[in-house]
Structures are given as C-alpha cells and as structure tokens.
Chains A and B, each alone.
Chain A
Amino acid sequence: MKKLIIDPITRLEGHGKISIFLNESGEVENAYLQIPELRGFERFCVGRKAEDMPLLTSRICGVCPVAHHMAGTKTLDAAFNVEPPLAAKKLRELMYCGYFIYDHTLHFYYLGGPDFIVGPDAPPEKRNVLGVIEKAGLDVGKEVIKHRAFGQRITEIIGGKATHPVCGLPGGISKALSEEERQEIEKMAASSVEFAKFSLKLFHDIVLSNSRYVNLIKSDAYTLKTYYMGLVDKNNKVNFYDGKVRVVDPDGKEFLKFEPKDYLNHIAEHVEEWTYVKFPYLKKVGWKGFVDGSASGAYRVGPLGRLNASDGMATRLAQEEYETMYKTLGGKPVHSTLAFHWARLIELLYAAERALELVKDPEITSKDIRNKPGEPGEGIGIVEAARGTLIHHYVLDEDALIKDVNLIVATVNNAPSINMSVRNAAKGLIHGDKVDQGVLNMVEMAFRAYDPCFGCATHYAIGQMPLTIEIYNSEKKLLRTVQR
C-alpha cells in the first residue's frame, strides 16, 4: 500500500496532517485527517476559581476567543443560577455579532476564499490573502482589513480587549456601553452591512458565474449526506447567542430539538486511537463508523449546518440570500461541503444586520447590566461559534472552585464529517501517486470549507512543518519523500 501525507495542511487554525493510503493499483484506499496535538484544558482547569473560566477557556483559541468566553459566561449563568438583565444579553449578543463579522471575514478572504478567488490550482505562493488583493484590487484589500478590524473593534469596545476579551460575569457583563461608543459601533455595523453585501456580490461574480466552480461545488467528491445541527430562536431562525439546539435529518426534517442542559442525552463521543480528537455522534442513531446517510449518527455544524437546521434568517437581506442559495443549489438541505463558503457569507450579512439592529435598540446603553448570582452548582452553556455548536459544561464545588469540566467544541462536532470529506475528495481526485500540488490542495479544500480550528479541537493548537508527501510500499516501508 502507498501512503501520501500532506503536512502541515495550511490556512487553518491549528495543526493537522492528511495521510492518504493508496492500494496496489494506485487508487485511494482510505484517507485520514490526523490532529496530533494536545493541551489538556479539561485537566488543568480543575481546582481553579469558576469566575476565571471565561478567561481561561478563551485561551483555547485566539481566533474564536469570544465564542469560548461567551460559552463560559453562559455556563456560569447556569451554574450560579442567575438570569442576566435583558440589556446585558443584548450587549453580549452585539459583541458576539462583532466576533462573527471578523471571524467570517477572516475565513473568506484569508483562509478559504483564496482557493476560489485566486484558483484552487494556482501557484501556492499566490494562493493567499495577498493573492486575493492582487486579483480583486488593493481597494478591496483595504476594505477587507478595515472590516475585519471593525469586528474586532466592536468586540474590544464591549469586551475590553479584542483577542481574549474580559467582560463576561455570571448574571451579566462588567461594563455598560456609553452613547459615544454606541455611535461608533453603529457606524461600523452599518458599514459592515455594505461590506457583507459586497462580499456576496464578489462570490456571485467570481464563483457562481463560473461553471467550473459550480460543478465543483455540486460534485460527488465534495458531497456528504449527514444530519445537521444548530441553535435556533423561537421561530426556528438561526441564532448565534442563544436558543434551543435543533437537529434535522439528511432529508431536512426536524429530528431533535432540545434545551442546552440536556445535551448529554443526545450527544456521545467516540474515540479513535490514531488522533487526539474525539468523534461525537447522535446517541439516538449511534456510531456507525465514517459513513454518511441517515443510519449514521454523524452530524455537521457550522454555517451550512446552521442554515440547514433552521427555517431561515431573522434579518431581511440575509433571508433573501438564504432563499437564493437553496433555490440555486436544488432545495433544502444542501449537502455540498463547499456550500459552507456561501452559507458563511450569508451569516456575515446576518451578523452585520443584527449588530445594526441591536446597536439601535434604546436599551443597549442601559446601566442595568448585572444581576446577583445565586449559590454555585452545575452549569451547561451552548453558543454557536463561527465554526458551529460549542458546548461548555462545568461542575462547581461549594467554594465556587471547578470540580469537573467537559467541552465539546465546534470543530470536534464536525470531526467525523471532516474525515469523510477528506477521504471522499481524495478518492474522487487522486488516481495514482503522480499527484501535483493543485490536486493535493483540492483535497485540503475539503477540510478548509469547514473552517476547522484544531486549536479548539484538541483544546490545543499549532506546530507547523514543511509539507512532505511520503510514499510507502505495501509493507509500509518508505520508498521516497517529495517536498511540495
């Protein structure tokens, strides 16, 4: 058997490598995405003060710290049995929209987008944000950097710091919003709506008007029929900050809808011996290995997962684009992995529209932002991170110190599907061991669509090495090494 390894896979948060196994005739037998790292957050948080958890867990990921900070804060609300005032909830959600604006912008223009805008098999030295700027123009580049910074600035105003914010307290938030700050955010939110519309137009012009890309999106190599999961509000519309968890089956019918506190009744985790990442599945369906379809408990989260699991978007423009996407790609649910990119831009638009709505709310500058916490106990908090459903679960002792921690992060929810997508793409695209870098990059595109964060996945991140493709014979003896 021959074995190809892509290591490190690039343009993602965290470190992983792809091993591709070929059979005697040079066809792909199997492919694995391996996450070879570990940090141990669930262990070293034990014994710490519960109030530190939103600060500690935000350090799991520097790209989505706001998600962990918010999940931690909501978990403390539950653990101290306190409901925050409405104004505090709105402030938290506004900050959260700022986070989605910067995170989705980051992914589309810096990480995943270059594959489409510059081209999947373009020279590797061009396939990055600078290549995007070259292709789309310097003015576009400036807008990208500006609006990503706007998202960060919104987070910073409310959260005190842009990366690893400091504002979440059980029962509320540490600081009210001043009128001056409110006006600054309003300007940035309004500008972000325009930027999101522009980004969608760019996607339509460059990707959707190119039949090669549309065929790629619809091709079998990038299709996976799974369950989908996401938080929804009371009208079953997508919500990032709060709500019930809804799951739809591969035909798009509602399969489950549950309160965050009941997650353990519905989700279990499977461990494989070759990776530090765990594989969650729906308990009711069961773990059937790395297969898709309604008999397999694998589910997908993240932009496409949320859109598939909901009945629509709660803001006008995003809802219009939501309808366009399903019309163009043949109805709900959409199973194409590359459609994650489109869904992500629809969410960018929603986040900007929602931020504008919230910042115009007269209650947003209210000083009533904290309620008194009750006695410490056990708590579960769920938010939608940019990459999907994020679950924090803490048990506190009577001194409010942490006794136990369980975290199921977005990328982990997607881990079974990411593996399948990588395998399917490899099978569809690689024939024989004479593969060029463009083909290998197209295998990487299968995971990049998920915007995976392996920092989060192993509660740990990154360590990079040059890409090597190692080719083994059937006795697993190394024949030769190729540098990409």
Chain B
Amino acid sequence: MKVSVVSLTCCAGCVSSLLNAGDALLEILFGDFEIVYSPTFMDLKEVPEVDLAIVEGGVRTEADEKLIREVRAKSKTLVALGICATHGGVTSLGNIASLKKLLEKEYFILDTSKLPELEDLMYPICNFVDVDYYIPGCPPMPFLIVHTLKSIVSGKSPVRHQSVVCTECHRKIIAAKLDRLYGTYEKEADPVLCLVSQGFICLGSMTREGCGAPCPRAGFTCFGCRGPPDSLMYRSRDMYSFLITVISRRTGIPEEKIKEELYRNPFIFHTFIFSKFERSKARERVI
C-alpha cells in the first residue's frame, strides 16, 4: 500500500506521535506500508498518487488549501490525523481575532503584500475535502494511530470510540460538598478521587475517549484535546449547560456560581475546536 504523510498548518506533533509507536511502527514500515512522500523526513518533493494519505494540520494558508485539494485528488483513502486536521486545533484559537489583529500583535511594521496569503480563519480540512476517517487528539496516542492504520490496511472498519474520557479514567467520582472551584496550581490533587469532585475543571466528561486518560492519570485535568464525543456532536446539544450540570453534581456548587466562573474564561472548552466544523459529514467517521 502506497502511503503519503502530509503536513499542513500544525506543530508536527502527530507525526511525532506516530514515530513513538516503536515496534508497531517498525512492523508497519517493513510490512504493508510503503511511505512514498513525507516532506518532514524525505526529500521527494512532488505529491504522488497513493492508496492512503495521512494528513496532519489544518488549513491556514492558501498553500494549505491548494495542497489538501491536490492530496485528496491523488489518494483513495484520506485520514485526518490529529485535532488540527479534524477540528482546527489550537491554531483555531487564532479565530478569536481578525487576521489584522494577529499580525499587529507580533509584526507591527509588516508589509504583508510581500508575504504569502493567509486564509481569513483556521479551518479543519473537512471544510475543503471529503475525509474518510477522523482521528482527533493533540496528538492522538501512538497505539490509537497504529490500530486505526492497521485496520485500514487490512480493509476492516477501524474501531470507533464514541463515549467520554471518564469511562477510561481510574478516578472515583463522588458528590462532594465544595464551596468553590480551584485552579490546578492552587492545591494538590488527591490521586484517587475524580478531579471534578475536587473542584478542578477537568473536561473528561465532555471529551471523546480513546486516549486512555493519560492526563488525569498524571494528576492533570483533561484539556479536551480529543474533541466532543458522539453524544455532543449534534448542534442541539449545549456543551456549556452539560458541563455546568456535571460540575455542579460532582462538587455540590450551585449551577449559577459555576456558570459565572466558566463564562469568565470563555475559551475554556474551545481550546482545540474553535472553528467551523461540519458535524454532519463527520458523524460516523470519528475514530
């Protein structure tokens, strides 16, 4: 199977995560996979016709847009690898400001007429082309990528992860009686109790499973990098109300008070998904 690995606007962390797969990676590289194109690691510069294209990163420049269209036209199956490709990722946070404001902050004397064109916003790739499989995550864990790729190679449908991170977390949920929420820096986390039950804003309850909950295991709150689970992918579901209810139940803090706190940090839930995302197309294809 001929494979290309393509990077658009991103941090190269997803390809890096693929490299972390160790022995499983060797199995792929010396097995059914023939990687014929990957500018990060190889010198070949022309996009070839392939059976499978693995794309990391989203579309921020016109060059990105041109490239993703070409890659789609030249591949039988296309996998969006990582939350930048699937939902816009952290770069989509730049969508809170106009392009002019972004440039002003960092490049106040820039003459942009001499530079390549940027798109008005950061987009996930599904806004431009059809995507066969979405693997969100920042980055997706190595085992998740390898399992998915192996299924695709053998012609099977990859296993989908539809529920939330809480189902994979070892921590015990209790209905606590707290008087306020806490920042992670303010107090030490108990190693066994649910982080929300301790007053930390952990996003595990509204984030897609499939990562194995590495962050709560390391004593850190879930940051939401796998995006919403199936149940929250419908436009009618209000993610804020859902999160407020969950936090209130687990902390005993009144909903009004939690709402105030969450609205003070409006991007708390949107770190990785602050872009126009075409839910209807993605529904059955998110791994």
The distance from the CB of A5 to the nearest CB of chain B, in whole angstroms, is 12
Indicate if B234 sits at the interface (CB-CB under 8 A): no
User: Are B106 and A38 in contact, with the CB atoms below 8 A?
Assistant: yes
List chain A residues, Cβ under 8 A from B26: 142, 145
Give 5 CB contacts A-B under 8 Å: A38-B118, A125-B44, A162-B17, A276-B115, A455-B12
- Number of contacting residues on B, CB 8 A? 77
| A60-B11 contact given A13-B40, A43-B102, A111-B41, CB 8 Å threshold | yes
A313 is an interface residue with CB less than 8 A from chain B: no
User: Which of A59, A274, A275, A465 interacts with B13 by CB under 8 Å?
Assistant: A59
When distances are taken between beta carbons in the complex, the residues of chain B under 8 Å from A14 are: 12
| List of 8 A-B pairs having minimum Cβ-Cβ separation, nearest first | A62-B13, A160-B218, A467-B45, A174-B219, A124-B43, A40-B102, A166-B220, A62-B11
Asked whether, in the complex, the Cβ of B214 is within 8 Å of the Cβ of A160, the reply is yes
> How many angstroms from the CA of A462 to the CA of B12 in the assembled complex?
8
Asked if B97 and A59 make an inter-chain contact with CB atoms under 8 angstroms apart, the answer reads: no
| Segment touching A, from B1-9, B126-134, B248-256 | B1-9
In the complex, given contacts A40-B97, A47-B267, A63-B13, what are 13 additional A-B residue pairs having Cβ atoms less than 8 angstroms apart?
A39-B9, A39-B60, A110-B41, A124-B42, A128-B42, A160-B219, A174-B219, A271-B108, A271-B110, A274-B115, A462-B12, A465-B63, A465-B66
Q: A39-B60, A44-B97 are in contact. Are A127 and B43 (CB under 8 A)?
A: yes
Interface: B260 (CB within 8 A): no
Interface assignment of B238: CB less than 8 Å from any CB of chain A? no
State the Cβ distance, B47 to closest chain A Cβ, in Å: 6
Cβ of A461: which chain B residues have Cβ within 8 Å of it? 7, 9-12, 57
**Chain A neighbourhood of B106, CB < 8 A:** 38, 40, 42-43, 276, 278, 459
**Residues of chain A within 8 A of B142, CB atoms compared:** 162
| Residues on the A chain within 8 Å of B19, using CB | 106, 145, 148
Contact with A along B261-277 (1 / 0, CB 8 A): 00011011001000000
- Tell me, rounded to whole Å, the shortest Cβ–Cβ distance linking A130 to chain B: 8
Report the stretch among A48-56, A188-196, A238-246, A299-307 that lies at the interface.
A48-56
Given contacts A11-B41, A160-B218, A273-B111, contact A48 B11 (CB under 8 A): no
If over half of B's interface residues share one DSSP class (helix, strand or loop), that class is named, otherwise mixed; here it is loop
Interface check A170, CB cutoff 8 A: yes
A167 is an interface residue with CB less than 8 A from chain B: yes
Which chain A positions have C-beta within 8 A of B77? none
The answer to whether the Cβ of B31 comes within 8 Å of any Cβ in the partner chain is no
Taken together as a complex, chains A and B put the C-alpha atoms of A161 and B222 apart, in Å, by: 12
Q: Which of A123-169 contact B (CB under 8 A)?
A: 124-125, 127-130, 142, 145-146, 148-149, 152, 159-164, 166-167, 169
B287 CB within 8 Å of chain A: no
Mark out the residues of chain A between 330 and 384 whose CB falls within 8 Å of any chain B CB in the assembled complex. 370, 373
Most chain A CB within a 10 A radius of its CB, from B19, B97, B268: B19
**Complex: A19 Cα to B9 Cα, angstroms:** 21
Are B61's CB and A63's CB within 8 A? no
User: In the assembled complex, which residues on chain A have CB atoms less than 8 Å from the CB atom of B22?
Assistant: 145-146, 149
Of residues 128 through 162 on chain B, the ones whose CB sits less than 8 Å from some CB of chain A are 138-139, 142
Which secondary structure characterizes the binding site on chain A?
A: loop
- The listed residue (B47, B57, B103, B184) touching A462 by CB distance below 8 A is B57
Could you tell me if B183 and A400 are in contact, using CB atoms closer than 8 angstroms? yes
- Tell me if B41 and A128 are in contact (CB < 8 A): yes
List of A residues within 8 angstroms of B223 by Cβ: 52, 55, 166
Among the stretches B87-95, B167-175, B278-286, the one at the interface with A is: B87-95
Please, how many residues of chain A have a CB less than 8 angstroms from a CB on the other chain? 83
Asked if B105 lies at the interface with its beta carbon under 8 angstroms from chain A, I say yes
Q: Say yes or no: is A36 at the interface (Cβ < 8 Å to chain B).
A: yes
Closest B residue by C-beta to A127: B43
Question: Could you mark each residue 442-484 of chain A with 1 if its beta carbon is under 8 Å from any beta carbon of chain B, else 0?
Answer: 0000000000000100011111111100000000000000011
Q: Which residues of B contact A (CB under 8 A)?
A: 6-17, 19-20, 22, 25-26, 29, 39-47, 57, 60-61, 63-64, 66-67, 89-91, 93-94, 96-97, 101-103, 105-111, 114-116, 118, 138-139, 142, 183-186, 188-189, 214-215, 217-220, 223, 225, 264-265, 267-268, 271
Q: How far is B184's CA from A153's CA once the two chains are assembled, in angstroms?
A: 24
A166 nearest CB neighbor, chain B only: B220
Q: Does A26 contact B (CB under 8 A)?
A: no
Interface centre among A61, A80, A278, A461 (most CB of B within 10 A): A461
Contact between B183 and A463 (Cβ–Cβ < 8 Å)? no
Please give, as numbers and ranges, the residues of chain B lying within 8 Å of A60 by CB-CB distance. Answer: 11
A106–B17 CA distance with the chains assembled, in angstroms: 13
* CB proximity to B under 8 Å, residues A41-95: 42-44, 47-52, 55-56, 59-63, 65, 76, 80
Assess the A175–B105 pair: CB atoms within 8 A.
no
A174-B110 CB under 8 A given contacts A37-B60, A40-B97, A166-B220: no
Q: Are A171 and B40 in contact (CB under 8 A)?
A: no
Q: Is A10 an interface residue (CB 8 A)?
A: yes
**Residues of chain A with a CB closer than 8 A to B105's CB:** 40, 42-43
In the assembly, what is the distance between CA of A464 and CA of B10, in Å?
A: 11
